A and B are shown apart, each in its own frame.
Chain A
Amino acid sequence: MMNTHRAVREVFGFFLCLGRKTGKTRVFALLGLVPVALAVVVRVVLHGRTGDMAAVFTEILMVFFLQFYIVILALFYGTSVVAEEVEGRTLSYLITRPIAKPAIVLGKYAAYSLLMFLMVAVSLSLSFFIMNAGRLADARLYLTYLSYLGVLGLGILAYTAFFSFLGTVLKKAILVGLVFGFGWENVIQYFPGSTQKFSVVHYLKSLLPYRPMGGGGGGVALLLFRLEPTSPAIAVLMLAVIAGVFLALACWVFRTKEYLYEE
């Protein structure tokens, strides 16, 4: 039997090839063009204005990326890691191969995470640099861009792991995921004290470049509204733990659970 590392790599290759050709990927890639189009419009409107307004709109774009785009991507790709195989009855092709079942979850998770990251990276890069075209000489701009990209990457890993786990245990994982992604996450992050730490987005926002409300940063802290940030190191650790734990749980459930096709 193939060792797990190689098996994960092969599953990764299989689903990266498949994933880039699906209709779902085309739809979500198109969705990624929305902020790009918005950036073009704003750029035209802001022509000749100072960089502060560009920073404001960049934050608005980040709300789209952080609280909508990566969540919806992770929801649809994460839950499909197992659920689409069961619903499409293609699971038989995978689990009758000489590879450990967890390798299927890990390989597919990795392939879909990379696919999502590429979509997000293209969309963010285009919209961010179009929006900030007047500040391209400012080195801090690139640091901000990289920190945004890193945060979104970590967000994809954590959310996708959680939704993958939901997909292994629930038949209607999408519905539960929607409630979590756009209900729980959107509400709990504004709770005071430590309650907001029960959301993934809290740790993602804790990693964003700090811009105090009405401070000298020059921007409105849309993303940091009511945030009581966790230190960056703890935030990264928590996101890694969330991803690791839910991925391990997804692997364990997939290995032990019997999946029956609905007649």
Chain B
Amino acid sequence: MTAVIAATHLSKWYGNVLGLNDVSLEIEAGITGLLGPNGAGKSTFMKLITGQMKPNIGQVTVRGRKSWNSPVLFRDIGFCPENDVFYEEMTGWEFVTGLLRFYGYSASEIKERAAKALDIVELTKDKDRLIRGYSRGMRQRVKFAQAIAHDPEIVILDEPLSGLDPLGKRKLIKLIKEFKSEGRTVLVSSHVLPEIEALTSEIVLVHQGKILAQGDIRFIRELIESHPHMISVRSSDPRALAARFVGDRSIQKMSFGADGRTLVVETHKRDDFFGCLTGVVLEGGIEIEEISSPDDNLQAVFEYLVGK
């Protein structure tokens, strides 16, 4: 698959502060989550992609074209900034229609697109109110509406879920996932792990201006050789199960869960372990009720990678 967004040895600094350090990565169609703590460099990266900043070293391209001073690119890019800033004296309708004017649409098309975008974010009823009077969630939604109103192929969303209530978050997550099914490229940043996890498994971990890892969460997990996988197996007889595993070289450590029915296994060779587990199941005698991997989530991956 061809990369939609590509960064090559990209570095950006603000005076003596390093914003982004030698970043090289490619982002393909679908949803990619940009995850990292505040100040990690996520917004800097997004501003470089959207041509708001000029790289100090390296380059960033969108569909093969450098993004700095390339306004032609923005017909296909929708950007939702992180900051809660607006032209406060405008109504939601004026804000969205006003920004749509910059795409060369006819007056009727502007109205049609604005109405559709505001309907998607459920602001139709409040479209004629001043943005100044909007709640935080409404402000977040109108910001999202302006980013999607021109139907962009590439959507860059900087912390889009912040300030939304749980229902609003769920709706926006559903909407972003629909973009993926339509073949669009969505880059979403967040410092909240479950938000990204709910959106995608394709992540880029950013920390102190560097890309720590990129890829599928599970794939990234495989890369962490220094830390074993934890696999939890709930069975009718965990001690008998442990006895069967003792001779298996793929297993590094075993412990029993507090509920007395769970065996927690640590292994560096997950595939080998599952092979062994399959053998045990086929041999019979022990009923396996549930297999889960408690550390196969973003929080664990992130903590391992940043060495916390």
Contact = CB atoms under 8 A, between A and B. Distances in A.
A171 to B, nearest CB: 14
Contacts of B51: 95-96
A18 B52 contact: no
A44 interface: no
B285 to A, nearest CB: 63
Interface stretch (B95-103, B184-192, B239-247, B294-302): B95-103
B85 A90 contact: yes
**Residue of B54, B69, B79, B102 with highest tally of chain A CB at under 10 A:** B102
A93 B103 CA distance: 13
A92 B71 contact: no
B85 A98 contact: no
Contacts of A99: 71, 102
B102 A2 contact: yes
B288 interface: no
Interface stretch (A29-37, A146-154, A236-244, A253-261): A253-261
A13 B69 CA distance: 23
Interface string A1-20: 11000110011011001100
B52 A95 contact: yes
Nearest to A13: B101
A12 to B, nearest CB: 10
Given A1-B71, A2-B102, A93 B90 contact: no
Interface in B21-65: 47, 50-54
A114 interface: no
B75 interface: yes
Contact of A1 (B75, B87, B98): B75
Given A21-B90, A22-B89, A89-B85, A96 B52 contact: yes
A258 B14 CA distance: 11
Contacts of A1: 71-72, 75
Contacts of A47: none
A97 B83 contact: no
B232 interface: no
Nearest to A259: B52
Given A7-B102, A93-B99, A21 B89 contact: yes
B77 interface: yes
B222 interface: no
A97 B81 contact: no
Contacts of B267: none
Nearest to A6: B104
B54 A18 contact: no
B146 interface: yes
B86 interface: yes
Contact of A97 (B74, B89, B94): B74
A259 B14 CA distance: 11
A97 B103 CA distance: 7
Contacts of B75: 1, 98
A254 to B, nearest CB: 11
A88 interface: yes
A88 B102 CA distance: 20
A97 B102 contact: yes
**Residue of A11, A90, A255, A259 with highest tally of chain B CB at under 10 A:** A90
A101 interface: yes
Contact of A98 (B47, B71, B94): B71
Interface of A: 1-2, 6-7, 10-11, 13-14, 17-18, 21-23, 88-101, 255, 258-261
Top 7 A-B residue pairs of the complex, sorted by shortest distance between their CB atoms: A97-B102, A21-B89, A10-B101, A89-B85, A2-B104, A98-B74, A96-B79
Given A1-B75, A21-B90, 7 more contacts: A1-B71, A10-B102, A14-B99, A89-B83, A90-B85, A96-B74, A98-B71
Interface of B: 14, 47, 50-54, 69, 71-75, 77, 79, 81, 83, 85-87, 89-90, 94, 98-99, 101-104, 146
8 contacts: A1-B75, A17-B94, A18-B87, A95-B51, A98-B72, A101-B71, A259-B52, A260-B53
